[in-house]
Amino acid sequence: MSAETTPRAPRHPRFPIPGGAGMRARGWRQEGLLRLLENVLCVGEDPDNLVVYAALGKAARNWAAHDAIVKALTTMEEGETLVVQSGKPIGLLQTHAGAPLVIMANCNIVGRWATAENFYELERKGLICWGGLTAGAWQYIGSQGVLQGTYEIFMRVAERRFGGDLSGRFVLTAGLGGMGGSQPLAGRMAGAAILCIEVDPERARRRQEIGYLEHIAPDLVSALQMIEAARAAKTPLSVALVANAADVYPELVRRGVTPDVVTDQTAAHDLVYGYIPRDFSLEETRRLRKTDPARLTAASRASIAEHVQAMLAFQSRGGEVFDNGNLIRTQAKEAGVADAFAIPIFTEAYLRPLFARAIGPFRWMALSGEASDIARIDDLVLEMFPEDRSSPTGSALRAKTCRSRDCRRASPGSAMARGQSSRSRSTRLSPRANSPRRSPFRAIISTRRGWPIRTS
């Protein structure tokens, strides 16, 4: 048996958090990348198998590849570049001190061969790994990494449909994995009563353990009672129910229950290793992944069809329903649900309008830093787009972060630095600055000095 396929003893499911002043590599650039790799496994869903999230999203192809990457990072010099191909190191090249330390690409399959069947076969042979967006790049930071984005989506739903507030509103979703695990906390932050369906009891327990989830209901009746009580009191609440979404969603339709907001964060993109079909236990699903993946694929697709049909029923009854980027509409369409794409995708429905107004990640980049930095970013956005002053999210941010005296400091040349208040500044902007035709991309954001500077 080769080193690549030799089984490795399982590691502790919670790796020690990397850090400290000591350096194991030959430079801090190398040490930084090593710590990124360690951290992505520390917060991953299944670190014993190098899986970070999304069923098969790995940090490295296998343990032999992982150990070779670690060895390279700890021994390579400045002026060398490590090349990683789909989770496996394939070369250490002599480059120069200004070159990248690591160049990597994940799961690149050409054209007509880029099919699920080919991918699974290559993955089974240990010849490829799906690194995901941040898993294979060693940049995942756990559910907190998508918490802000999930919260922002919920707030855009609130802004569009419910007057900017989700208090007293029922949000239904599913999936408490690496990405979906942020939903219960984001829902509570947005003021909603959120019910999350999760088929794996361990995942629900884990979210509760880390404080992202408040309650795990024993059954559907109890879960609905808890949600209804929270709605009536307009109290934020997060509840999980261990069940299959393809059972629960249609059951709610039959009972005449229509949530205010409906989405889904199950691993529907992966019919074999991600989604669990209705009437299949976790144990049976794991067995079929090895013995009969074709049967599992067909069962998952049929289950998703019922899942999405229920979502369409909620939509027809007035619920705000959207696809949260897990390909569930695509799978349902292939299963014969003709109007699956009547459900909008979250990026187009909620995020794209924000990006078109240049309200993006730069606004939140200083959340872990000084309150004054947050205020500077918020001032920048309001100067660019004064109509955003009425945004519930923006108002909440300012209320929470601009109470300290530090928040009154502003960037050089800004209205606040000249002694003008934010309120008075909004009335002094030129007509051109207030014009909706002005492209937000004329504003160039620089972070060299630690906070954004606007230039035209």
Q: Tens of pLDDT along 219-248?
A: 999 999 999 999 999 999 999 999 999 999
The answer to whether the beta carbons of residues 102 and 36 sit under 8 Å apart is no
Query: To which residue do tokens 């070779």 refer?
Result: 68
pLDDT digits (tens, 9 = 90+) for 125-176: 989 988 777 889 999 888 777 888 899 899 999 999 999 999 999 999 999 9
Assess whether pLDDT exceeds 60 at residue 9.
no
Give the lowest-confidence range in 5-14, 59-68, 103-112. 5-14
Q: What is the pLDDT of residue 379?
A: 52
**How far apart are alpha carbons 14 and 206 in whole angstroms?**
12
* pLDDT at residue 193 is higher than 80: yes
pLDDT of residue 215: 98
Entry field: residues in the chain: 456
Q: Please report the pLDDT score of residue 323 as a whole number.
A: 96
pLDDT of residue 280 exceeding 60: yes
Give pLDDT, residue 414. 33
Q: pLDDT value at position 428? A: 32
Q: Say whether pLDDT at 75 is over 60.
A: yes
Q: What is the pLDDT of residue 369?
A: 41
In three-state secondary structure terms, 84 is strand
Select from 382, 365, 383 the least CA-distant residue to 374: 365
Radius of gyration (Cα) for the chain, nearest Å?
A: 24
Q: Across residues 207-213, what is the average pLDDT? A: 94
User: Across residues 5-22, what is the average pLDDT?
Assistant: 56
What local confidence, expressed as pLDDT, does residue 226 receive? 98
Model pLDDT, residue 446: 31
Check whether 429 has a pLDDT greater than 50.
no
* Average pLDDT for 243-259: 98
Q: What is the model's pLDDT at position 435?
A: 36
pLDDT number for residue 179: 87
Read off the tokens for 433.
């600055």
Per the CB < 8 A criterion, the answer to whether 177 and 264 are in contact is no
Q: Quote the CA–CA distance of 87 and 85 in Å, as a whole number.
A: 6
Are 378 and 388 within 8 A, CB to CB? no
To 10 degrees, the CA torsion angle through 326, 331, 337, 339?
40
pLDDT at 44 over 80: yes
357/268: higher pLDDT? 268
Q: Distance (Å, rounded) from C-alpha 333 to C-alpha 266?
A: 17
User: What residues have CB less than 8 Å from 54, skipping those under 6 apart?
Assistant: 130, 132, 135, 177, 178, 179, 267, 269, 270, 274
Alpha carbons 369 and 406: distance in angstroms, whole number: 12
* 258 or 450: which leads in pLDDT: 258
Whole-number Å distance between alpha carbons of 172 and 192: 10
Q: State both tokens at 241.
A: 């129910």
Question: Residue 16's pLDDT band (boundaries 50, 70, 90)?
Answer: low
At residue 107, the pLDDT reads: 85
pLDDT at res. 87: 94
Q: Residue 217: pLDDT band by 50, 70, 90 thresholds?
A: very high
CA dist list (Å): 134 to 45, 180, 361, 368, 378 = 13, 15, 16, 20, 27
